[in-house]
Structure 1
Amino acid sequence: MTPHDSAPTPASPVSALEDDILAVLNKAGHGTLSAPEIAHSLRPEGDWHGLLMPIRRAAVALALDGRLVIYRKGKPADPNDFRGVYRLGLPRHD
């Protein structure tokens, strides 16, 4: 049996969270959302505070892949070097 014959592995929790973030942003349209807004959208009835750091890590990975943009004070931020309050949005294709 070769590695290519094995069954596909299930999505990792990180990639599932990345997909969830992108889905929330797609649903929101052209605007941006804060991490707390995304977290609350993903867990409206639960403890969404625990999602804030995982969302930040997933957002950095997605931004490095060009799949979303991290905004700081209304301007795109360097995914490897941003602090404080930030918002997330989908890349614009104008």
Structure 2
Amino acid sequence: MEIIGELINTSRKLISEAVKKKDGQYIRNIAKLQQESGATYIDVNCGTFMQNEVETMEWLVDNVLQGCNLPLCIDSPNPLALDAGLGKSKNGRTMINSIK
């Protein structure tokens, strides 16, 4: 069974605020918490940052990977953001959650 931690999503107020402030420690803590709670994948979604989704995805992936050692689930219908997230993801088998 696979369990996807879905908390790192910029539609969530505290995640959005952390991204705006570039609070990487907060993102790393959330990733670690989800791993400790039994997640087998960490979902990364920054779709509410459409103007700079590629850069935001790269920043989020970097911080998530510093906080845990799980494979990621890259969540975006934007092919450029998907590519950016896939390019940074190095923890095992990466999953894609959305496509056009």
- TM-score normalized with structure 2 length: 0.31
Structure with greater proportional strand content: 2
- TM-score normalized with structure 1 length: 0.32
